[in-house]
Chains A and B, each alone.
Chain A
């Protein structure tokens, strides 16, 4: 299950024990990131099979080497403008609760290597909905990168659907 992405990223040496690596990407124009260890692979977007009666943020299901995996639109999930899925977009395959799940993002930007101390707590804002999904924020190259709390993003819809 070694994805190409992992192999490539794995070459970069972790310089410090306190340092962790994040993959940053854009969703509806905002910068988000996920810990590199959470990501199984990154694929180009290809049309998915629609699930009847599914919520707006569930795009459908995709065939990942014989496994049926659900694809979520992160933008719709965060309450942002829905992504117009196209060839340029990417699906980030992550493993949540041992199961692969695909997340649609606009594009993948880069790998950020930062120290733990650099992670700041999310300042309280009114949008409680968004707050749940954001674990913390990083300042990187003068932009704010939001760290996604994967468990909150994925476990919530499962309950809502069934």
Chain B
């Protein structure tokens, strides 16, 4: 039980951290709107609140300091200067670390933690930190306050939990225990609403309590006890003093201080809050002086006007739905095929209906797919942190500019993009961006800029990482490749081929091993990760101006556009993304090269031919049967090859079925799909086929790369 609530807390934390990051980024961009600051404050505060409920002390302590500084900012007592913003950004990173540690275990960097706390404390008002109250220093003139705070008062509290409160795991007992710490407490149970056994609903709440507390504490302390069950219970707190009299006093106070309901629940610094036990339930109160609840009330308000209501759904359920819809599509094509085979004179009506069915199925499919699609925004926000950390580790100044954050991509793609993006960005900071002084010397701004953008491009997602650094040092890259024996010494490579050498396994150009890179993890890992997602990555570089990495990814991992072909009597599917052109070949287009190499001449160009059937071991390579159709494919390096197949049937959308767990890794085959006739067809991986094919005269590095992927 508590486990699942804790999960919910951490899920919420994710959202809150995102909101906080978003706010901080806005602040960093110069947006000092109080609403933005409030939003960050609320986010931190909610994290603290939740963490407190689970006894995550370290998290609470840090969040508390963090939020206190924000409170100062809200009250315009601290200037939001660059130094503070940097500190706050680092603190927000650390806060996410702390949350991660609380969730997954592990440890945080003590030194870093302490340094940040020390940094935050500089901005803090000592008194507020100690939670002692301080009549001065709140900006208001000294007003004769009723000295009620020191007086022992009797509070009448009526507490009636709603059933939702029990749903969140709160226990009245612990609340009462907390109250009794404030002073002598008398608890009377009110079971008057309790129905007979027959009318009782198992999960409803019927009990209420009347509590009498004698305490010197201000009312806000009592409200603080009920902070976490706000909105989950009916609560009224009344002191023994006449309520009306109190309200009059309050009005006077408000006039004196100006209505500024801005101190928080947990930092009750204001003595003028103490004599304000207005007899109201927190939610019901229109009074701006209901300060204790102000933070929560604001967050409720913000939820209401927040973006759009959303639904939290188990990912597995969505996946089941996606699978079922995939079946529906397959079923439709099977049905269509069966009907077409029927020997009936007039099929028009049936075909019209079938067409309608197909459209509906497609609609449902798109709808379901869009559930899995998520904006890349959270991913990009995390990347801002990577750049911050990387630049501070390398003593460089770099900022991340993001574009197209609302581009939606399949959730799995987003998850698996995190690592490659991190790697590319670290590399961009470490190798791409020059040192600030060097930049200045060549007339660039001291701050390097890395632009991370996402956009939809004809059925795929394009993610671009562009830096304004030095660009690829081509002579050096080539030199290293030769030294490491990756390319022959006399290799003549085009600029783009040299750039793409970076993706070779075990390639690193850093002169010295820095904290960030040079750990033996090269760009080949990035390439593998992208390839595993069915995507492609490319680099283009402009010496002195910077480099651009382009990642092209499929929109979804569940469906794919494919060309249905036949190879050695088997039906197979080739991803449309990798096909440049298709053509029917004739004998005079085929030229032999060497013992077993064949080239296809296309408009004066010669490209190597790879027979798919023999590459897959389905036909003897030396058989004379000339394949009829060629699919021209282009690899990432721009190298073209012609895949020879027997025939092309159709171009259609296919549902991808993973072969993982069915049989191990099959060279040349990416996955499987189910065709209209219910048969399974293999989805081919052209790159891998080219690599496996011995007759292919493909560029050698390409083969190395693909071998690395295959192994």
B666 on interface, CB distance cutoff 8 Å:
yes
Chain B residues 377-408 with CB under 8 Å of chain A are none
B535 on interface, CB distance cutoff 8 Å:
no
> Cβ of B674 and Cβ of A53 under 8 Å apart?
no
> Cβ of A49 and Cβ of B666 under 8 Å apart?
no
A61 on interface, CB distance cutoff 8 Å:
yes
Q: How far is the CA of A27 from the CA of B668 in the complex (A)?
A: 32
> Cβ of A66 and Cβ of B330 under 8 Å apart?
yes
B653-681 contact mask (Cβ, 8 Å, vs A): 1 or 0: 00001010111111111001010001111
Q: How far is the CA of A63 from the CA of B680 in the complex (A)?
A: 6
B616 on interface, CB distance cutoff 8 Å:
yes
Q: Which residues does chain A contribute within 8 Å of B682, judged by CB atoms?
A: 49, 51-52
For the complex formed, measure the closest distance between the CB of A83 and the CB atoms of chain B, giving whole angstroms. 19
- Asked whether A61 and B570 contact (CB < 8 A) given A53-B617, A66-B674, the answer is no
Q: Which residues does chain B contribute within 8 Å of A48, judged by CB atoms?
A: 680
Considering the complex, give the chain A residue whose CB is closest to the CB of B679.
Answer: A49
> Cβ of B668 and Cβ of A68 under 8 Å apart?
no
Q: Which residues does chain A contribute within 8 Å of B672, judged by CB atoms?
A: 49, 61, 68
Q: Which residues does chain B contribute within 8 Å of A68, judged by CB atoms?
A: 657, 659, 662, 672, 674, 680
B138 on interface, CB distance cutoff 8 Å:
no
A110-146 contact mask (Cβ, 8 Å, vs B): 1 or 0: 0000000000000000000000000000000000000
A31 on interface, CB distance cutoff 8 Å:
no
- Asked whether A52 and B669 contact (CB < 8 A) given A68-B659, A70-B662, A158-B663, the answer is yes
> Cβ of A52 and Cβ of B662 under 8 Å apart?
no
Q: Which residues does chain B contribute within 8 Å of A158, judged by CB atoms?
A: 663-664
Chain A residues 58-106 with CB under 8 Å of chain B are 58, 61-63, 66-70, 99
Q: How many A-B residue pairs have CB under 8 A?
A: 64
> Cβ of B327 and Cβ of A66 under 8 Å apart?
yes
Chain B residues 671-698 with CB under 8 Å of chain A are 672, 674, 678-682
Considering the complex, give the chain A residue whose CB is closest to the CB of B570.
Answer: A50
Most buried by A among B616, B618, B661, B662: B662
> Cβ of B616 and Cβ of A53 under 8 Å apart?
yes
Q: Which residues does chain A contribute within 8 Å of B618, judged by CB atoms?
A: 50, 52
Q: Which residues does chain A contribute within 8 Å of B680, judged by CB atoms?
A: 48-49, 61-63, 68
> Cβ of A63 and Cβ of B666 under 8 Å apart?
no
Q: How far is the CA of A62 from the CA of B680 in the complex (A)?
A: 6
Q: How far is the CA of A53 from the CA of B681 in the complex (A)?
A: 15
- Asked whether A61 and B669 contact (CB < 8 A) given A49-B570, A49-B680, the answer is no
When the two chains form the complex, which single residue of B323, B663, B664 contacts A61, counting CB atoms closer than 8 Å? B663
Q: How far is the CA of A84 from the CA of B340 in the complex (A)?
A: 33
Considering the complex, give the chain B residue whose CB is closest to the CB of A50.
Answer: B570
When the two chains form the complex, which single residue of B326, B664, B666, B681 contacts A52, counting CB atoms closer than 8 Å? B666
**Count of chain B residues with Cβ under 8 Å from any Cβ of A?**
27
Q: Which residues does chain B contribute within 8 Å of A49, judged by CB atoms?
A: 570-571, 672, 679-682
Q: Which residues does chain A contribute within 8 Å of B657, judged by CB atoms?
A: 67-68
A156 on interface, CB distance cutoff 8 Å:
no
For the complex formed, measure the closest distance between the CB of A68 and the CB atoms of chain B, giving whole angstroms. 5
- Asked whether A53 and B667 contact (CB < 8 A) given A63-B679, A70-B662, the answer is yes
Considering the complex, give the chain B residue whose CB is closest to the CB of A60.
Answer: B680
- Asked whether A61 and B662 contact (CB < 8 A) given A66-B323, A66-B327, A66-B674, the answer is yes
When the two chains form the complex, which single residue of A52, A63, A69, A161 contacts B616, counting CB atoms closer than 8 Å? A52
Q: Which residues does chain B contribute within 8 Å of A67, judged by CB atoms?
A: 657
Q: How far is the CA of A58 from the CA of B323 in the complex (A)?
A: 26
Q: How far is the CA of A94 from the CA of B384 in the complex (A)?
A: 50
- Asked whether A54 and B659 contact (CB < 8 A) given A49-B680, A66-B323, A66-B330, the answer is no
Considering the complex, give the chain B residue whose CB is closest to the CB of A99.
Answer: B661
B289-332 contact mask (Cβ, 8 Å, vs A): 1 or 0: 00000000000000000000000000000000001001100100
Q: How far is the CA of A67 from the CA of B673 in the complex (A)?
A: 10
Chain A residues 24-38 with CB under 8 Å of chain B are none
For the complex formed, measure the closest distance between the CB of A22 and the CB atoms of chain B, giving whole angstroms. 27
Q: How far is the CA of A61 from the CA of B678 in the complex (A)?
A: 12
Q: Which residues does chain A contribute within 8 Å of B668, judged by CB atoms?
A: 52-53
Q: How far is the CA of A60 from the CA of B662 in the complex (A)?
A: 10
Q: Which residues does chain A contribute within 8 Å of B659, judged by CB atoms?
A: 61, 68
Q: How far is the CA of A161 from the CA of B660 in the complex (A)?
A: 12
A18 on interface, CB distance cutoff 8 Å:
no
A162 on interface, CB distance cutoff 8 Å:
yes
When the two chains form the complex, which single residue of A54, A62, A63 contacts B663, counting CB atoms closer than 8 Å? A54
> Cβ of B663 and Cβ of A161 under 8 Å apart?
yes
Chain A residues 144-160 with CB under 8 Å of chain B are 158
Q: How far is the CA of A49 from the CA of B669 in the complex (A)?
A: 13
When the two chains form the complex, which single residue of A51, A58, A63, A161 contacts B678, counting CB atoms closer than 8 Å? A63
Q: Which residues does chain B contribute within 8 Å of A54, judged by CB atoms?
A: 663, 666
Q: How far is the CA of A158 from the CA of B659 in the complex (A)?
A: 12
When the two chains form the complex, which single residue of B663, B679, B681 contacts A70, counting CB atoms closer than 8 Å? B663
Q: How far is the CA of A58 from the CA of B663 in the complex (A)?
A: 9
Interface set of B (CB-CB < 8 Å, partner A): 323, 326-327, 330, 570-571, 616-618, 657, 659, 661-669, 672, 674, 678-682
Given contacts A51-B682, A52-B616, 9 further A-B contacts (CB under 8 A): A49-B570, A49-B679, A51-B663, A52-B666, A52-B668, A53-B668, A62-B680, A68-B674, A70-B663
